[in-house]
A and B are shown apart, each in its own frame.
Chain A
């Protein structure tokens, strides 16, 4: 099809959206659903700022995947991490550890970090390096980003 309605489950809500074959998942999240938390960066898969989580909680690049592939699939974006008005532990840790500077890549970095924690709740150094190698952050040099992930990995969600 060149254009058609698909249902996307984003952050727990079902959205029926008219999607063209020219749209990537990123175009739909930002352009159609106005979920502006997910950022548009290089659009060629190298910078990672467009990272969202798929239904398995894995990090995927929304800029590199046609929107039509996502019919009936579940997606979590940065806006979907808060629960009951509270930041997710990884978000809180990013604030406390100063893992955020300019903040442009932050949604993508946090969704990458969340994916690491989804798959490996107590991640090793290798898990963190591998899980974050897909994003780039000149501001922090990833140093405090890794500290924040280690913290959540060691201490789990703060009650």
Chain B
């Protein structure tokens, strides 16, 4: 099946791209590697008037260490290039693990960092062909006031299945959003919204241009649970970052991915572990907070009861792994 008709635009510079985004009529979609957007266009879930290719924009390239030790990643960096970058493999092995966890090498050879961060939310009532959706009937995302995943849900509860956000959020990464109005920078955790339709705060005239990771010597663990190891979206993923060493940590950031509509920062669990340590008592106390922190879960792709269990399993495994690591 061919893609829906659209205008394909490949600007030479960011300024040119931003101008297109501002001026082009109708729906303009940003294209990174295309592995998510093309997929959704085939399903006629997206029928943009314009596709704006960002992959080769010079302003969106490169991996740089800034004078303050921060790491800056261009949004158009391919995941393959991030996986291979020495500066990343040496300093952030767990982050590299997260990038490498995305799909398959085939996909990572096309897919970009910006694309993974902006990956559309997924739902098995929505990410289907048009015929399939027509048979089921439309939903919140496709034009009606109905949610097939959670009856009566007021907002779309599709899942954020991207693998790289949890680790980047744990690292307190920021994203830079450019528009013809100027630039703004915000923490990646604030980039996401608990709404499967408008799942990020990216405005229609904005482009995510780069990601900045502040310097840190903290420990970081990333885990992803899937049906199969390669070429799969996760059932659940976790990134846990901690200072200190062994079972001692005073400051933690715990982020769960794929279980909810936005990556979930678990403040309560982090606080228990900081107070009680990473030993079994701390872990039990942290796990006890999960039910409240997660709230209602969907049966999308795996049962809600399993998702709840998985959050606990991932937290335990990550903390056990963290305990074995030196700062």
Contact = CB atoms under 8 A, between A and B. Distances in A.
Please tell me whether chains A and B touch each other in their complex, using a CB distance cut-off of 8 A.
yes
A20 B8 CA distance: 9
A66 B31 contact: yes
Contacts of A48: 104, 106
B104 A21 contact: no
A92 interface: no
A78 to B, nearest CB: 15
Nearest to A136: B231
Given A27-B2, A69-B53, A134 B230 contact: yes
A69 B35 contact: no
B106 A22 contact: no
B279 interface: no
A132 B105 CA distance: 8
Nearest to B8: A21
B110 interface: yes
Contact of A61 (B42, B100, B106, B230): B106
Contacts of B150: none
Given A46-B231, A64-B35, A65-B38, A134 B7 contact: no
Contact of B106 (A59, A68, A69): A59
B42 A43 contact: yes
Contacts of A20: 2
Contacts of A134: 103-107, 230-231
Contact of B51 (A21, A23, A43, A61): A21
B7 A1 contact: yes
Contacts of B35: 45, 61, 64
Given A61-B110, A133-B230, A22 B5 contact: yes
Interface string B102-116: 011111011000000
A156 to B, nearest CB: 22
B10 A58 contact: no
Interface string B243-259: 00000000000000000
Interface residues of A, number: 34
Contacts of B1: 43
Nearest to A112: B106
A59 B34 contact: no
B3 A24 contact: yes
Given A43-B1, A43-B42, A60 B7 contact: no
B103 A21 contact: no
A64 B34 contact: yes
B231 A133 contact: yes
Contacts of B230: 129-130, 132-134
A44 interface: yes
A24 B34 CA distance: 10
29 contacts: A1-B7, A1-B9, A20-B2, A22-B2, A22-B4, A22-B6, A44-B39, A44-B42, A45-B35, A45-B38, A48-B106, A59-B105, A59-B106, A61-B107, A61-B110, A64-B35, A64-B38, A64-B110, A65-B33, A65-B34, A66-B38, A68-B53, A69-B31, A69-B55, A112-B106, A129-B230, A130-B104, A133-B228, A134-B103
Given A1-B8, A60-B109, 6 more contacts: A1-B7, A46-B231, A61-B110, A66-B8, A69-B55, A129-B229
